[in-house]
Amino acid sequence: MPLSLLAALALGASPASAPHPFNQQDLVTLRRLSSPRVSPDGRQVAYVLRSTDLEANRGRTDLWLVNLDGSAPRQLTSHPDSDSDPVWAPDGKSLFFLSSRGGSSQVWRLPLDGGEPLPVTKLPLDVNSFAVSRDGQRLAVALDARPDCADLACNTQRAAEASKKKTTGRAYDQLFARHWDTWKDGTRSHLFVVPVAGGTAVDVMKGMDADAPSKPFGGAEEFTFTPDGKGIVFAARDVGPTESWSTDLDLFLAPVDGKTKPRKLTEKNRATDTSPVFSPDGKTLAYVAMSRPGYEADRYRVILRTWPGGQERVLTQDWDRSAGSLAWSKDGATLYTTANDVGQSTVFALDVATGKARALTQGGSADGAQPAADGQVVYAMDDLDSPSDLYAMKADGTGARQLTQVNKDALAGIKFGAFEQFNFPGWNNETVHGYVVKPVDFDPKRQYPLAFLIHGGPQGSFGNHFHYRWNPQVYAGRGYVAVMIDFHGSTGYGQAFTDSIAGDWGGKPLEDLQKGLNAALQKYPFIHKTKRCALGGSYGGYMINWIAGNWADGFQCLVNHDGIFDERAAYYDTEELWFPEWEHKALPWEKPEAYEKFNPVNQVAKWKTPMLVIHGGKDYRVVDTQGIATFTALQRRGIPSRFLYFPDENHWVLKPQNSIQWHDEVLGWLDRWTRK
C-alpha cells in the first residue's frame, strides 16, 4: 500500500474513489435548488436548498444567499425544521420566510446584518404561502379556514369541537369530496391580511366558498398586493357546485380591511386567469390567461390591464408558446417568462410595447427568470446531466455565467450518460422530437438494452430537464439506453400540436411512439433490437396498458405507474372532471363510445407482455383500483406480473426511501426481462 494512502487512513480520511455511474441513491440525495429571489437592489439572490435526510425519510430545506457575481454563497438558516419561501423586505435588510420551527408553519423574519430569526405571525392555523406589501407593512397569508367563520377564534373553536366528536363520518353535498391526495374537511384556503407589526388577521375572502391560492398546487404566485397596499388581487375558482368540472379561475380584487366583498376582475373570460403581477410603476397589471373553458392545457397568453382603469390587451396573441411565471424589468419595458420550447424550457423576453418574444437561453430547462442589477437577468437552469443551479446573463441573453455549484462535490463522484436530441417524421409526416441518453461508459461497439420512457400529462414533455422522479440518467447508469419521444399532444411545439391528442389518446401518440422507436433503432445501432422495455406514468401508464393490447410484440417488458385501465370507470372515480370531459369531448353517459374507442380494458384478450404495475394509495387522480384491476387482468391471464403498492403516496412517489424502493423494483424488473 502506498505510504500516502497509509497516512490518509491513519488520519481517518478515506481514499478517493473513482466516479460511479449515476444511480437512484444519487437521485434522492443530490441537493435541490429552488425559489430564487433577487434582492431589491439586484445584487444578491436568496434561494432554497433542499437536502435529504434518509434516516428521517424526508427532505430538509434551508435558506441560502449568494452575491450576483457568484461570490460568498452562505447558508442563512440551519434549523432542523424546514425553512422555505424567501421574500425580501422592501428595504433589502431582511428576509421574510416560512418555517415550521415552533410546531406550525408561520412567517418568520431574518435580519441580514446579524441576529436570529424572529416570528412575525403566531396564528392558530398553518400559513401555507404569503406575500408582502410594497411598503413592507402588511402580509397576505393563505390559511385553511372555515369560509363561514367571521374570525380565527371561530376556526379554533370549530377545530376543538371536531376533535371531541366520537363519530368519523363526513357528509358531502357537492364535489369535490376529495382532491389530489386529500379528502375535503370543510375548510378553504383563504387569504388573510396581517400587519407585520402585529394585530388582527382579516379574512378578505370571508364567505367565499373557494380556494386562494388554488388547490392542490397553487402558491404565492396566485396573489399580490395592489401597488398602494390597499387591496389584494388573487385568483380563485368561485363557481359553486360546478367546481370539479370548471377551469374558470378568475382574478378578484379585495380590500385589505375585508369590509366589502371581493370584486371579480375577469368576468368575461370563462377559462383560467391567474398569476397577477404589477409593473414597477404600478400602472399595469400583467397576468396569464387561457381562452377555452374546460381545457387545462390551453395556451397561457399574457394579458396587460391598465391599473386601476381596467382596459386590457393581449400581449402575446401571435406567440405560439404558453407563458409561465412573469417578472417585470426594472424599467417596465420587458416581461421575463419561461416556456416549453422544442424540448427545452427557455427564458423569453417579451417586449411590452409590441409583444415580440426573444429567446434568451439555448438548451436546458430554465425557471424563475427575474431582473437583477446592471441590466442582468437571474434564473435557475438544469438539463439532462446537471441538476439545477443559479445563473445570470445580460438582458440580451449573452454572457451567461454560473452563480452556484450546489452539488459540486457530489457531482465530482458521478458519471452521466451523454445525450442528444433527434427528430423524425411522425404522424402525418409531421416532425416529432425525442431524446436519447447513452449508457454510462458507452462503448459504440456494444449493443445495449433499451428503456423506452413515455411521459404523462398527456400534455407534457420529456425534455432537456433533470427530473427527480423520471430521470433517464438512472437507466443510463444501469447500462440502458434511454429514449423519450415527445409525441403529438406534448407541449412546447405549438398549441395545435398540443391540442391534437384530444379525442385521440391511442391514435397519433401510439403512431409517434412506434415511428420514434424505429427512427432510434435506425439512427443508433447500439440499441439492442429485441431487449427493450417500455415505462410510463399517469398518461404514460395508460399508454403502457394501451401498448399491451396494440403493440404486443414491441417490448420484452412493461412498467405501468398509476395508469388508467378502464377509461369509462376512470371518469367516475377521478376528481377533476374537466380533464376527461375535454380529452374525450363528451360525457360518458351521453357518448360512451368516446370513452371506449381507446379503452385498454377492451384489449385485455390481446395482452401477453410481462408488466410491473405500481400505484399509490392516496392517488385520487387515477385511483388505486385502476392499478389493482390491471394487475388482476394480468394475473388472471397468466401473464408474468408484479404489483408494487405505496399506501402513503399519491400520484407521485415523494418519500426518499420509497423513491429508492421504486427504482430498485423498476430496475430489477428491467434486468429480469432484458438481461437474459
pLDDT digits (tens, 9 = 90+) for 569-592: 999 999 999 999 999 999 999 999
pLDDT in tens, 246-255: 999 999 999 9
Reply yes or no on whether the pLDDT at 167 is more than 80: yes
Name the band, by pLDDT with cuts 50, 70 and 90, for residue 17.
confident
Name the band, by pLDDT with cuts 50, 70 and 90, for residue 102.
confident
pLDDT in tens, 596-631: 999 999 999 999 999 999 999 999 999 999 999 999
Burial class (CB in 10 A: 0-12, 13-18, 19+), 100: middle
Q: Average pLDDT of 237-266?
A: 97
Q: Average pLDDT of 190-219?
A: 96
CA separation for the pair 213, 106 (Å, rounded):
17
Q: How far is CA 223 from CA 231, 233, 538, in A?
A: 11, 6, 30
Spell out the residues 6+ positions from residue 288 whose beta carbon is closer than 8 angstroms to its own. 273, 274, 275, 300, 301, 302, 303, 323, 324, 326
In contact, 340 and 464? CB cutoff 8 Å: no
Name the band, by pLDDT with cuts 50, 70 and 90, for residue 12.
very low
The C-alpha angle 606, 609, 611, rounded to 5 degrees, equals 120
Domain segments of the chain: what residues? 329-410, 415-674
pLDDT in tens, 295-306: 999 999 999 999
For position 114, what pLDDT does the model report?
86
Name the band, by pLDDT with cuts 50, 70 and 90, for residue 676.
confident
Choose among 65, 69, 74, 75: nearest CA to 45: 65
Spell out the residues 6+ positions from residue 217 whose beta carbon is closer than 8 angstroms to its own. none
Reply yes or no on whether the pLDDT at 3 is more than 70: no
For position 521, what pLDDT does the model report?
98
Q: Over the chain, what is the mean pLDDT?
A: 96
Please count the other Cβ atoms lying within 10 Å of the Cβ belonging to residue 207.
Answer: 13
Name the band, by pLDDT with cuts 50, 70 and 90, for residue 115.
confident
Question: Positive or negative, the Cα torsion across 534, 650, 468, 321?
Answer: positive
Please state the pTM of the whole predicted model.
0.95
For position 11, what pLDDT does the model report?
34
pLDDT in tens, 411-424: 999 999 999 999 99
In contact, 376 and 394? CB cutoff 8 Å: yes
CA separation for the pair 149, 155 (Å, rounded):
6
Question: Which phi and psi angles does 6 have, rounded to 5°?
Answer: -60, -40
Q: Average pLDDT of 30-54?
A: 97
Name the band, by pLDDT with cuts 50, 70 and 90, for residue 186.
very high
Reply yes or no on whether the pLDDT at 13 is more than 60: no
Reply yes or no on whether the pLDDT at 430 is more than 60: yes
Task: Describe the strand order of the beta sheet including 284-289 as a list of residue ranges.
Answer: 273-278, 284-289, 301-306, 312-314
CATH code of the domain occupying 415-674: 3.40.50.1820
- Residue % of the chain over a pLDDT of 70: 98
Please count the other Cβ atoms lying within 10 Å of the Cβ belonging to residue 485.
Answer: 27
CA separation for the pair 465, 565 (Å, rounded):
29
CA separation for the pair 671, 662 (Å, rounded):
14
CA separation for the pair 168, 170 (Å, rounded):
7
Q: Average pLDDT of 60-77?
A: 97
Spell out the residues 6+ positions from residue 640 whose beta carbon is closer than 8 angstroms to its own. 610
- Residue % of the chain over a pLDDT of 90: 95
In contact, 512 and 426? CB cutoff 8 Å: yes
Reply yes or no on whether the pLDDT at 16 is more than 80: no
Spell out the residues 6+ positions from residue 10 whose beta carbon is closer than 8 angstroms to its own. none
For position 674, what pLDDT does the model report?
97
